[in-house]
Copies of this chain bind each other. A is one copy, B any other.
Amino acid sequence: MKKLTYGMVGGGPGAFIGDAHRRSIAVDGCAELAAGCFSRTPEKSAQTGAELGLDPERCYASYEEMAKAEAAREDGIDFVVIVTPNVSHHPIAKAFLEAGIHVSCDKPLCLTNEEAEELVQLAKDKDLLFLVTYTYMGHVTAKQAREYIKAGKLGKVRAVMAEYPQGWLAFEGENGGKQGEWRTDPKQSGGVNCLGDLGTHIENAVATMTGLKIRRLLAKLDVVVPGRVLDDNDYVMVEFDNGATGMFWSSQIAIGHDNSLRVRIYGTEGSIEWFQEDCEKITIIEKDGTMIERHRGNGGIEPDAARYGHLPSGHPEGWFEAMGNLYHSFAECLQAKKAGTFTPDMVDFPTVEDGAEGVKFVHCCLESTKNGNIWVEM
């Protein structure tokens, strides 16, 4: 089986997330970088390409050029990885889809529901796979939560408490460097900062783990740090289609929290706690209160979660491996497409539809906030 190749848009000098995607794909080993448009400045793009050992003719000055050229090559990339600021996700993804190239795109998928629907439709029409890199759903333990609930072991889900606090944007007069600058700039990030960056991870994690859809929500997106334009602390009350309820909190002003995505799910037969910073374990509480800690690699992990682990338990895997696991399933599906053996149930990664749900979530929250924190149907 020939290894897949991929191209990257974004991820130039100093960009954190592009480097992170490259390392994640490398640790999984499912694909090799073969092309790129790493920066809007051609010289920087070429420089990054050279550092990464790319063929100079496959370092492009624009993504449009790249989409066309790669589509035309016999050995063209199998998929593109889009790691640019939010505002450009849509046009870039569209260009590659139209060129017939599979897409992996960072979250949030794009800025508007219209853009999202267009991408969903385009991927469908072109029969292309589309991965939206909600990294955390790649963790074996996150998959374990999903499998455990899917198997009915939690009973009916009644309540979900989910939060994603960080502290890096807590300080007046600071904007968290390059990362923070575009995130807090309405032009580059869309109409939200914290909710787009963190809140969408909550929405996706809860949807993935529980399988529930949000029926309606009531949101309060706040700008806390003086001088900022976009939200940096967000509360959302939710009601799910099965009658369960929940509260989501995302924040960038919570000093002491590095990257604290935490999901707690309470059912009629037990509960689950999952914490991203301690991603090698999951806590399961059974009906009689027995509190069990399960580790990746241990017995008791469901096969559809366990199969993503590489190392024995107690040999920590982390963020790169989680992201790598998303690409692993994506690559498996792409290889199956090539081999003509693909079936939709093979998809074990967040898709463009999941990405579109995230965009819808953001817009419902904005609408609720604008109207004084009222309930909005989703």
Q: Please give the residue numbers on chain A whose beta carbons come within 8 Å of chain B beta carbons, in ascending order.
A: 3, 16, 19-20, 22-23, 26-27, 29, 53, 158-159, 161, 163, 166-168, 170-172, 218, 220, 222, 224, 233, 235, 237, 245, 247, 249, 251, 253-260, 264, 266-271, 273, 276-280, 283, 285, 287-295, 297-300, 310-321, 372-373, 375
Is B159 within 8 A of A254, CB to CB? yes
Q: Decide: B249 and A289 in contact? CB cutoff 8 A.
A: no
Instruction: Give the nearest-CB partner of A318 in chain B.
Output: B316
Q: Quick one: which of B256, B264, B313 contacts A285, CB cutoff 8 A?
A: B256
Q: How far is the CB of A274 from chain B (nearest CB, A)?
A: 13
The answer on a CB contact under 8 Å between B27 and A291 is no
Q: Which residues of B contact A318 (CB under 8 A)?
A: 280, 311, 315-318, 321
- Assembly CA distance A268 to B235 (angstroms): 19
Q: Which residues of B contact A294 (CB under 8 A)?
A: 290-291
CB distance from A135 to the nearest CB of B (A): 9
| CB contact between A266 and one of B237, B247, B253, B280 (< 8 Å): that residue | B253
A257-B314, A260-B314, A293-B291 known; A249 and B251 CB under 8 Å? no
The residues of B that contact A255 with a CB separation of less than 8 Å are 266-267, 269-271, 285, 287, 289
Task: Give the chain B neighbours of A280 by CB distance below 8 A.
Answer: 277, 316, 318
Q: Hey, which chain B residues are within 8 Å of A297, CB to CB?
A: 258
Q: Report yes or no: A224 in contact with B158, Cβ–Cβ below 8 A.
A: yes
Interchain CA distance A268-B16 in the complex, whole Å: 27
In the assembly, what is the distance between CA of A311 and CA of B259, in Å? 11
Residue of B nearest to A51 (CB): B1
C-alpha spacing A258/B295, complex, angstroms: 9
16 A-B pairs with C-beta separation under 8 A: A19-B310, A20-B310, A27-B27, A166-B314, A170-B266, A220-B237, A254-B271, A255-B285, A256-B271, A256-B285, A258-B315, A259-B315, A276-B314, A289-B299, A289-B300, A320-B321
Q: Is the CB of B293 within 8 A of A293?
A: yes
> Bound complex: CA of A292 vs CA of B273, how far in Å?
14
What 9 A-B pairs are tightest by C-beta distance, nearest first? Answer: A258-B314, A259-B314, A256-B285, A316-B318, A27-B27, A318-B318, A258-B313, A26-B26, A315-B319
Which chain B positions have C-beta within 8 A of A293? Answer: 291-293
- The residue in chain B whose Cβ has the minimal distance to the Cβ of A279 is B316
Instruction: Please name all residues of chain B whose beta carbon is closer than 8 Å to the beta carbon of A285 when the two chains form the complex.
Output: 167, 255-256
**Known contacts A27-B27, A29-B26: A277-B314 contact under CB 8 Å:** yes
Q: Is the CB of B23 within 8 A of A27?
A: yes
Instruction: Tell whether A291 pairs with B290 under 8 Å between CB atoms, given A159-B254, A319-B315.
Output: no
A377 to chain B, nearest CB (A): 14
Contacts of A320 in B (CB 8 A): 27, 310-311, 317, 320-321
